[in-house]
Every structure is written in C-alpha cells, then in structure tokens.
Structure 1
Amino acid sequence: MHNRRTLTRLFLASLACAALPVQAQTFPSRPVAMVVPFPAGGITDAVARALAQKMGEQLGKPVVVDNRPGGGGQIAAAYVRQQPADGHTLYVGATEMFAINPTLFRNFSYDPLKDFTPITSLIASPLVLVVPANSPMHSVAELVQQAKSRRAGLNYASQGIGSIGHLLGETFRGKAGGTYNHVAYKGSTPALQDVMGGQVDFMFDPVITTAPLIAGKKLRPLAIAADRRSPQLPEVPTLAELGIAGVDAGVWFGAVARAGTPAPMVERLNEAILKAMKDPEVLKRFADQGMQPFASTPAQFGSFMQAEIARWAPLIKASGASID
C-alpha cells in the first residue's frame, strides 16, 4: 500500500513536470492583468500603462491595468494573492510596497519576499532636494548653515509618515547636522504646493514629479540624492559631490507574481517586460518623465528587494515612524 502511494505521487509529480513546457508554450491563455496599488493617473499607473501595450504585443494577449489603491498596497496585494499562481496576474508596485511598508505598518498583511515571486525591477527615479524658486538659499551649504543658525531650524516636507522623502530627510539631518522639522503631507502634490508657496523650506522628491516644476521656475534644485547626476538635471550636483555622502535614494518600481508561479511563466513574463522596456516609444516616454530603465532578472530583483528591506528597516525604526 505504501509503495503504491509512493508510485502514485511520483507519477503525478512527473506529469506536473512534463506539463510545464506545454504550459509555457501556451502561456498566456487569456489577458494578463497588471494590478497597481495606486489610482489611475499616478506614476506607478503611468509606468504600467506605458508597458502594457508593448507587453501585449510580446505575449500575444492583451495586458490590462487594474487599479486597486489603498492600505499601503495591501488591497492590491490581497487581490493578487487570491488569484491562481499561473502568471496571468501581476502586482506592480513601488519602493514602499516592497521595501518600506512591511516595517512601517504595525500589522502588514503580506511579506514581499515570501508571498510573491519576483519578475523584474522596472524603472527608477532619484530624489532631488528642492527649495522654493524664490528661496534665499541657493546651495546646500547655505541650507545647512540656515538649519544650524536659525533658532527654530528649517521645515522640510515629505510625502507622508515613513515615506522615502521622510526617511531621506532624517538621513540628511544625521549627515549634514542642524535642526530640521518634519512636516508630513498626504502625497507629493500637496507637499510640493507648499514648498512652491514657501510654507516649508525644502523637500526631497523624485525627479519624475519635480523636473516639470523646476523647468517652470517654480522650484530650485540644490542637489541630487543619488550616486550619479540625473540625465534630466545634469547641471545639479549630487550630495556626495557636495561632501554629504550616504544620502542617496530613489523611488523604484517592480513587478512580481504570486508565490508559486511556475518558473517558465516567470521567465516568459520577464522576457516580455524587458523587450517592452527596450521599445523606442517606451524609452522616450520614460525619459520625458525623468524615469531611468532599471531592468533585471527575477533573481537579481529578489536580491535587490532583500537589500532594500535591510536598508530601510533600521531607518524606519530609528525614525519612530509607524502606521496602524
């Protein structure tokens, strides 16, 4: 009886293995959904839509964008986890969903590394330190001097508690010295409005959102928080060039599938996305919006997520930031 069960299990396992190449050849068998944890019109939505049509051409099936915002990415993630692990549903998120929110939220409902299979990173955009266009501060040195000399220090805006802008501001405080008061907003848009209006002194925000405002003379860039200058703002020095090392971060975006998705489907999706990202139309669209292509293999993206979680977790804990 025992031998019969063992043989049955081996037979079923062999059938499953034999079926994988066939599944890979017939995949996808229906439209592929890219589930985005933000409303339509945002950066992540724009990234997904830029890739969807070209991906569809590669896969031979339509690729549709499904917006499911809320809960710091938990609503979208829960939906993807409820779908079959067959590669037809992807989760396209940003740094927060994959590296920050699992530590920031006291009770987070998913583990990016255990509950999902990495497909590829997509694009990245460095953060830039901006001040109002009419600010008396024309350099980082002047900003730091003001933060040290003013009794109340300087106020800096962020996209929200525990956002990259918040965490980078805290890192800047530790590296540069001076007094800095954090003012949290609900997203980039209202924060940038108050920076432009002079209600707050400065902010770290992605090149994606700041470049048009800089071009329109509504903001003044002082430094790039990255290891190299931005192609969109080549005249703006990095903080490291200015003697403040270790203050570098950017927003990045990636695609994952539900854990357990067979390797042939993961490889097929990776191949389709990477080819879509090399399309001239897609490259131009990314460049026009200050996005830098950031493609990788599934294994590379998995390792990158691990490194990012390890990087941000201690900063989040040190800042005291948390969300219920």
Structure 2
Amino acid sequence: MDRRTLLQSALGLGSLSIASPGRAQAFPSKPITLVLPFSAGGISDVMARTLAQHVAQHLGKPVIVDNKPGAGGQIAASAVLQQAADGHTVYVAGTAMFAINQTLFRKFAYDPVKDFEPVTSLVISPLVLVVAADSPVRTLSELVSLSRSSRQGLTFASQGLGSVGHLLAELFRSRTGGSMSHVAYKGSVPALQDVMTNRVDFMLDPTSSTEALIRGKKLRALAIASTRRVPQLPDVPTLAELGVSGVDAGVWFGAAVRSGTPVSAVQTLNRALVAALQDPGIQKRFESQGMQAYPQTPEQFKQFIRGEIARWAPLIQSSGASID
C-alpha cells in the first residue's frame, strides 16, 4: 500500500470514528421504566404490569414498573421529568393526573399538556351508579324522585374530593334537580362499604371496582354513565336511556413521556402498547376486571386529554372543590 492510499484509508477511518458517536441510538437502548402514581397491588398496577410483560417481548428490552404514589401524581410525574427525554421513562397515570388535578390543586407541580408528550390512552372503566343491594330504591327514577321529595335529601359517596365520581355526581345532581349531599372518602373501598350498608345512599364508581360486588348481590346497579352499555353489565341501561343525558364518563389511564422526546421513540412506544392492547388475551383479562382496552394514536390521545381538561375544569370550579 503506497503512502497516498494509506493516508486516504486513515482519513476514512477517522471520519467514521468521529461520526459514530453522533449517530442516534436505536430505541430502546436500555430497560424502560413505567412510573405509576399508584400503590402496588391495585387495579392500575395490575394493568401496568400486564402491559409491561407484553411490551418487553415486543421491544426486546426489560420493562420495569415503578410505583410512586402520593401528592395527586406529582411525585411520580417529577420522577419522570427528572429523567432524560429519550422515551425510556414513561408516566402511566389516570384521569385525575392528566385532566383534573391541575385545576383541583391550588398549587400543582406540572402541566400535563406542556410537560408531557402523549403516547396512547390505555384502558377505560365506565362509572356505574350503584345503591346497596337491599336499598328500597330499585330504579333510577325512584332515586331521582326520592332526592326531590325527601326532606333531608340523599347522600352520595365519592372516592375523594374532586374525584371523577364526585364531579360526575355533581353533574348528575344538576341535571336531575334533586337534593343530594356529598360524602368524600379516601378511595373506593371505604366508600363502597358505606354504600353497601346503607350509610350512604348511592355512588358513581368504576365498573372495575363494582362489577364483582354487583354480581355478588352486594350492590344494585341502576345505570351506567356511558354512551353505550358495557359488556360487563349488559343488562344495566345507560343514564341517557333513562332520560338523564350528558352524564357519562369513565376512569381512564394513559401513557405519556417527557416533552421533547423524539417522535420516533414516541411512535415506537405507541406501537408496542397498542399491540399489547389489541392482544385478545389481554383484552379478555381487562374485561374480566371491568376495564376496556382503549388504544389511540399520540395525536388522538393529545386531543382527548385537552378535551377532558376542558370538560372537568368548569365542574371543579362550580363545585368549589380545591386541595392545598
């Protein structure tokens, strides 16, 4: 090899060595972490771990679930926002964290629209209006009539101040004109216990936490707060069918990454999660738990979040609910 050829070869190798570090790494290049603002063992945790197994197989990298509950999702969101915007840390949260808490909390640490890039919605669990199985109220019309005629009115339980159950019940009250008083609890479990023992008259709660109690004759379902009947409770009519329109909502969960994440990483995560949500075995498992798979494109989920924020903000403000 002459001197000229040797010099050209050296220059070529040098240019490769300089260019290589600048190349974008294939995504994912390391394990992915799903950060949840919920405790381990709950329905959202089970949902996330189910999806994590499928996504890990799809992407060929481990997927870890990291539970960071507390502060209305702010602890988990902060953990995500402290990581690089490369798609390897994903915020998996619900209606409250994406669409309610920003308005509900007087001071909130993140903006779900500006600070996060939506990946896809995951599942939705419609709310169902329930009373105790031995309640004298057997139909929605009886409930509404009693709320109007009773001197002291009726009471309704919720999962907490500013929760979807609270806000939807406030909307139900405004649409029916009944006299109803709110009783806030810390979660569905204690609230449902008091509904089942008739300490509180009724509640709007997701099918994911009520279906088994309805089938076990502990609760009586009067109506579904959904645009259509749900496969888990096909005999339960919607509120609209019973004459109360516009009162429909579900608790939903979705996935998002830090703003600034490359579009290619967002799309890769979307494809992996949507593939999991379209798996018949996963769909069947979710349906048995009162949830329905609800995949969307990143753009669809972005518009969905904006619509949900616009929907809930006026209800929060009119209810007077706020958290420090």
Q: Quick check: TM above 0.5? A: yes
Aligned to 1:4: none
Give the structure-1-normalised TM-score: 0.93
Checking the alignment, whether the CA contact within 8 Å between 2:277 and 2:294 is kept in structure 1 is no
Aligned partners of 1:109, 1:198: CA distance in 2, in Å? 39
Aligned to 1:175: 175
> What are the Cα deviations for residues 277-315 of structure 1, in whole angstroms up to 9, with x where unaligned?
122221121111111111001011001000100000000
> What are the Cα deviations for residues 193-236 of structure 1, in whole angstroms up to 9, with x where unaligned?
10011100000000010000001000000000111001100000
Give the count of matched residue pairs: 305
Aligned to 1:315: 315
Checking the alignment, whether the CA contact within 8 Å between 1:116 and 1:259 is kept in structure 2 is yes
Aligned-residue RMSD, C-alpha:
1.2
Larger radius of gyration: 2
Aligned to 1:191: 191
Aligned partners of 1:257, 1:134: CA distance in 2, in Å? 46
Aligned partners of 2:85, 2:281: CA distance in 1, in Å? 31
Aligned to 1:96: 96
Aligned partners of 1:210, 1:41: CA distance in 2, in Å? 17
Aligned partners of 2:212, 2:76: CA distance in 1, in Å? 30
Aligned partners of 2:319, 2:43: CA distance in 1, in Å? 26
Aligned partners of 1:65, 1:116: CA distance in 2, in Å? 19
Aligned to 2:229: 229
Read off the aligned partner of 1:231 and give its amino acid letter.
P
Regions of 4+ moved over 3 Å = none
Checking the alignment, whether the CA contact within 8 Å between 1:50 and 1:285 is kept in structure 2 is no
> What are the Cα deviations for residues 4-57 of structure 1, in whole angstroms up to 9, with x where unaligned?
xxxxxxxxxxx89x84xx43xx21111100000010011221211110000000
Q: How does 1:97-136 map to 2 (within 5 A)?
A: 97-136=97-136
Read off the aligned partner of 1:161 and give its amino acid letter.
L
Q: 2:240 aligned with 1:268, yes or no? A: no
Aligned to 1:48: 48
Read off the aligned partner of 2:121 and give its amino acid letter.
S
Aligned to 1:288: 288
Checking the alignment, whether the CA contact within 8 Å between 1:91 and 1:257 is kept in structure 2 is yes
Checking the alignment, whether the CA contact within 8 Å between 1:132 and 1:219 is kept in structure 2 is yes
Aligned partners of 1:60, 1:279: CA distance in 2, in Å? 17
Q: Secondary structure at the match of 1:200?
A: coil
Read off the aligned partner of 1:49 and give its amino acid letter.
R
Checking the alignment, whether the CA contact within 8 Å between 2:157 and 2:183 is kept in structure 1 is yes
Aligned partners of 2:226, 2:279: CA distance in 1, in Å? 26
> What are the Cα deviations for residues 144-200 of structure 1, in whole angstroms up to 9, with x where unaligned?
111111100000000000001100110001001110010000000000010011100
Task: Between 38-47 and 91-100, report the one with greater CA deviation.
Answer: 38-47
Aligned partners of 2:230, 2:276: CA distance in 1, in Å? 23
Q: 2:198 aligned with 1:207, yes or no? A: no
Read off the aligned partner of 1:98 and give its amino acid letter.
F
Read off the aligned partner of 1:293 and give its amino acid letter.
A
Q: Secondary structure at the match of 1:110?
A: coil
> What are the Cα deviations for residues 223-256 of structure 1, in whole angstroms up to 9, with x where unaligned?
0011100110000000000011011110011000
Q: CA deviation at 1:119?
A: 0.4
Q: Secondary structure at the match of 2:282?
A: helix
Aligned partners of 2:311, 2:141: CA distance in 1, in Å? 27
Unaligned runs of 5+ in 2: 1-18
Task: Between 71-80 and 280-289, report the one with greater CA deviation.
Answer: 280-289
Aligned partners of 2:157, 2:281: CA distance in 1, in Å? 34
Read off the aligned partner of 1:266 and give its amino acid letter.
V
